[in-house]
Amino acid sequence: MSGAGPERTAAIAGRVERFVRDVVVPYERDPRRDHHGAPTDALVAELKEKARAAGVLTPHILPDGTHLTQRETAVVLIKSGLSPLGPLACNTMAPDEGNMYLLGKVGSPEIKDRFLKPLVEGRARSAFFMTEPWQEGGAGSDPSMMQTTCRLDGNHWVISGRKAFITGCEGASVGIVMAKAEQGACMFLVDLPDPAIRIDHIPNTIDSSMPGGHATVTIDKLRVPASQMLGNAGEGFTYAQVRLSPARLSHCMRWLGSCIRAHEIASDYANRRSAFGKTLIEHQGVGFMLAENMIDLKQAELMIDWCATVLDSGSLGTVESSMAKVSVSEALMRIADRCVQVMGGTGVTDATIVEQVFREVRAFRIYDGPTEVHKFSLAKKIRRDWRAANGV
């Protein structure tokens, strides 16, 4: 591999793309799925071993432990997303990718060795315990509503509460748990499974790309050594912000890759299928939809690159990642919807991944903050800026 720079990034991305297209895509018809259609851990483990052999496991983290820049990561993660199974195979999937980024940034040497290393090596899955049941007044898009508590007891913290929509919880071996103490929010690393963390329910959801489901759990007097807290008590929200903006953008990267593939499939269909005396692509109603896809795909790519550049500058990129999340998720929804429409009856079946991509992107408009929450946040910034500019 060549040294640092565009050539190195292109080489990594090229290997990832070849692996996903040649090795992973055939697995899309593999029947090893759980109760709601997500790939089983056995299937994921098999894919990871193939990725390891091909040299594309965790490709965004280099052998010396350094992380690609966000702009470089985008180039690679977009390629991994060319199949819904690609991020799982290459170990670039949420929540693991975001958790690896966080632990790499702020974890102690001990935490990195015990919890980060197995994730990077693809030997473990993780879960991020932040969201709580809305019926109980818990935190969702507003983390300040957190109800889960922690208290110091000797050299351990004791955590109790309820969490909801915890992606990948079932089968995970690493957990990051957020709770509130008198000093404020705290974040802990925990080994899973633990008898003090009980899975109450795993709902069937519209998406089916991530193993382990989106569980509701009860945490009952979970004891965690003080050494497994990230940083100090009260710094939890600070660390959450370190994770959230890059993880938000990584979702955009992966699902852009899936929409690129869906567009390829729909374009192939439109060029092969004939109706009313000519191929579908020759009908303006179809051709124009695919043309609009091209425009939205490029705009999404540019938005990701812009936000990645901001993050690479050292900024938390909170505003920019909100803008990117809204812009990209809404553009990808339009793309996926057009692909289904172009393919007609075939588009709503599981004959291709187009139907799944549509479902996944619809969920993405809610995950990592619904569109409306990000718009609300941006509107508040506009208000603050106006007041500051006018001395109000």
Model pLDDT, residue 3: 58
CB atoms within 10 A of CB 363: 16
Q: What distance in Å separates the CA atoms of residue 70 and residue 57, rounded to the nearest whole number? A: 18
Model pLDDT, residue 142: 87
Residues whose CB is less than 8 angstroms from the CB of residue 372 and which lie 6 or more positions away in sequence, other chains included: none
Q: What distance in Å separates the CA atoms of residue 90 and residue 5, rounded to the nearest whole number? A: 21
> How far is CA 324 from each of CA 240, 371, 391, rounded to the nearest angstrom?
18, 10, 30
How many Å from the N-terminal Cα to the C-terminal Cα in the chain? 56
Model pLDDT, residue 1: 39
Q: Which residue matches tokens 């382990």? A: 212
Query: For the range 108-114, what are the long-range contacts, defined as Cβ-Cβ under 8 Å and sequence gap of 24 or more?
Result: 108/227, 110/227, 111/189, 111/228, 111/230, 114/189
Q: What distance in Å separates the CA atoms of residue 51 and residue 48, rounded to the nearest whole number? A: 5
Reference 71, options 150, 155, 154, 8; nearest CA is: 8
CB atoms within 10 A of CB 154: 9
Q: Which domains, from first to last, does the chain contain?
A: 6-120 (1.10.540.10), 126-235 (2.40.110.10), 237-389 (1.20.140.10)
pTM to 2 decimal places: 0.95
Model pLDDT, residue 2: 42
Model pLDDT, residue 390: 97
pLDDT, one tens digit for every residue, the chain (392 residues): 345 789 999 999 999 999 999 999 999 999 999 988 999 999 999 999 999 999 999 999 999 999 999 999 999 999 999 999 999 999 999 999 999 999 999 999 999 999 999 999 999 999 999 999 999 999 888 888 999 999 999 999 999 999 999 999 999 999 999 999 999 999 999 999 999 999 999 999 999 999 999 999 999 999 999 999 999 999 999 999 899 899 999 999 999 999 999 999 999 999 999 999 999 999 999 999 999 999 999 999 999 999 999 999 999 999 999 999 999 999 999 999 999 999 999 999 999 999 999 999 999 999 999 999 999 999 999 999 999 999 98
Alpha-carbon Rg for the chain in angstroms? 21
